[in-house]
Each structure stands twice: as structure tokens, then as C-alpha cells.
Amino acid sequence: MREFHVIDRIRRSQGALPRWVLAGPGDDAAVLAPGGGGGGKARLLVTVDAMVEGVHFDAGALPPAAIGRRCAAAALSDIAAMGGEARWAVVSCGVPRRGRWTEGRLLELTRGIEEGLARWGAALVGGNLASSAAFFVSMTVGGSCAGAPMLRSGARPGDLVAVTGELGGAALGLELLRAGRRRHPLARRHAAPEARIEEGRRARPHASACIDVSDGFLQDLAHLLEESGVGAVVEAERLPLPSPLPRGRRFAPGRVLHAALAGGEDYELLLTVPPARRRAVEKAFGRGGVVPLAFVGEITGRRGVLKVVDKNGRDVRVPRRYGWDHFAHASPPLRGGGAKRRGG
């Protein structure tokens, strides 16, 4: 079974959605028209994300509050990718009858979720607790968007490809954590990712399309290209690599590039910007208080063709199976846990 294949089949099998569903399955969050999802002038954004112990996080590697903050960041990131503001969340937990998940740890987890949400003014308004052989946390976040949200489908040939912050930090951070190097600044990129809510808000009026980088830069870019019906060329040297880079053979340049292209869970935003809006978006990011924005490539008309080149325009070998599909990989290299997500 291939995750994205199943999702495509589900989308194709769906009947027509009501007119007030402005964007349904296939984007980072569903977009419901004012009035449709409960009224108002603002569009309602809704997204759901899940983390499963042993799949999305190592059992015992992180304290419960950190797991909670990561869950919140992953779900909030989908709202960020639309350019929206998060408002509320409900959480559904599956907990084994016996084992490490005691009442105290569940309270810590909840506290972490609430902290992660509170940073962006969102509140945990409800939840569900069920018995389950596998520990899971599934989180639904609702948000609002005053104007037209950024969709995955708006990229046009000639648009610039841009990305916030740094790529590959979460995957390298996980390697560091596994090597016991908890103090390295990159370890934090895995343990405590940040949703780019403010970056999304500033980009929204200018960007033609957006997706968050949760499964790996190339894979998420491929999703955006598919929804927009376009291709892209990315210049490897322009990719914003994490810093400071750790020393050691495990972190040789080739591995770092691989992490930047295919590492999951960076929760950066991948934007496309019409050339005429480049100055405006740079100005919006230049006001401080946000991570930098790097321009890394260009959208082409060659539908479905995604090339990575060096500064001389020569093809760079990329991981054949870039990114992270739950059901296709047993153990993808350098993945940062691989939050699985489907828009909406």
C-alpha cells in the first residue's frame, strides 16, 4: 500500500463536495466558506494530523511535554501553510491499558500540547481518550483566514520557489539525539520544532502557492507541483542548510544535502512567489521577528518534472525515493520521524 496512492483513490472516489467547501482533501487544510462551517466573514480552516509511538516518535526518547509540543507544531504547521491563524484544537488519544503512559505522563503530554497551542493564541477545547494497543495522538486544529488562503495549486511557470528557515535540521537533530548529543542546537530542531505561523501570515498576500515541509523538501515540493500541474528546477547550492553543522563523518556534506532534500519534519514553509512579488515578500520578511526566506529555484511548465541542479545547471543526483511515505519505506534514511499528513 502506498499512502499517497490510497489518498488519491479516496479523493477520486468522492462525490462533489458542497459549494461551501472551498478546498477539500488535497491541501494542507480544508477551507470552508464563511457561513458554511459555522458562519462568519472569515474562512474556517481545518486540519488533522496524527503521531503514533514507534512511528513518528521514538518511545522514551522525548519527555511527554516535548511530544505534546511536537504534535501541536505539526498540526499548526498546516494552518501556517495556508497563511491562517490557529484558533482551537481537539485531541484524540489512544493509550495502551498498561505500559509507560501513566496518568502523570498523559497530563504532561496535554500540558505540552496546550503550551504549543498557546504560543499562537489557540486553545485546547476538547478531546477523547480511548484504549489502544498503539499509543497515538491525533490532533485537529481549526483556524481562520481573513483573506484567500495559500493553496498548493496556485504555482505558475516562472514563479520563484522559496523556503523559510533551514532544511534538514530535524533529521540531523534526530541523528544527534540518537548519538546522545542532546546539547547540540540542532537536537532542538527535532525535539522542539516551531510552526511558521507568522511567516505564513506575512507570505500569504504575495505567494501563489504554499505547502509545509513535513515529509521532506522534495516530496512536499512534488505534491505542490502535482496540485499546480507544473514542474520545478531547484539549485542545490541555494538550499538553506542547518547551522551550526555538527562535526563527524555522519554529517558529511552529502548526508547534509540528503537531509535537506529528503529529511522530514522541518515544518518550514515552501512557497512559490510570482517574480513581480519578490520585492514585496522580501520586505515582509525583512521586518524581523521571523526566520529568513531563501529563494532556491523556479517553477517550470514541464509538468511533474522536478530537477535539482548545481550552480552550473548540471543535474545533482537526488535520493531516488525522496521523502517519506509510511507504507512504502520500512526505514527511510535520516527521516525525522516522518509526520504523515494529508491536507484538509
Q: Which residue has the cell 532534500?
A: 261
Question: Is 132 a residue that touches a second copy (CB under 8 A)?
Answer: yes
Query: From the CB of 18, what's the least distance to a second copy, in Å?
Result: 5
Stretch that binds a second copy, among 54-62, 181-189, 198-206, 255-263 (CB under 8 A): 54-62
319: left (phi over 0), alpha (psi -120 to 50) or beta: beta
**Per CB under 8 A, which of residues 67..106 are in contact with a second copy?**
87-88, 90-92, 94-95, 97, 102-103, 106
List % helix, strand, coil for the chain (3-state, nearest 5).
35, 25, 45
Of residues 136 and 285, the one with the C-beta less far from a second copy: 136
Strand locations in 25-158 (E): 30-32, 43-52, 85-95, 123-131, 136-145
Query: From the CB of 307, what's the least distance to a second copy, in Å?
Result: 29
Question: Is 247 a residue that touches a second copy (CB under 8 A)?
Answer: no
Question: Is 59 a residue that touches a second copy (CB under 8 A)?
Answer: no
- 184-187 long-range contacts (CB < 8 A, ≥24 apart) are 184/246, 185/244, 186/242, 186/244, 186/245, 186/246
Strand locations in the chain (E): 21-23, 30-32, 43-52, 85-95, 123-131, 136-145, 160-164, 209-213, 231-235, 268-273, 293-300, 306-309
Of residues 152 and 188, the one with the C-beta less far from a second copy: 152
Question: Is 47 a residue that touches a second copy (CB under 8 A)?
Answer: yes
Query: From the CB of 209, what's the least distance to a second copy, in Å?
Result: 18
Tell which one of 35, 185, 275, 286 touches a second copy (CB under 8 A): 35
Tell which one of 59, 100, 125, 279 touches a second copy (CB under 8 A): 125
Question: Is 39 a residue that touches a second copy (CB under 8 A)?
Answer: yes
Q: What is the largest CA-CA distance in the chain?
A: 58
**Per CB under 8 A, which of residues 139..178 are in contact with a second copy?**
140, 142-144
Of residues 114 and 166, the one with the C-beta less far from a second copy: 114
Of residues 74 and 233, the one with the C-beta less far from a second copy: 74
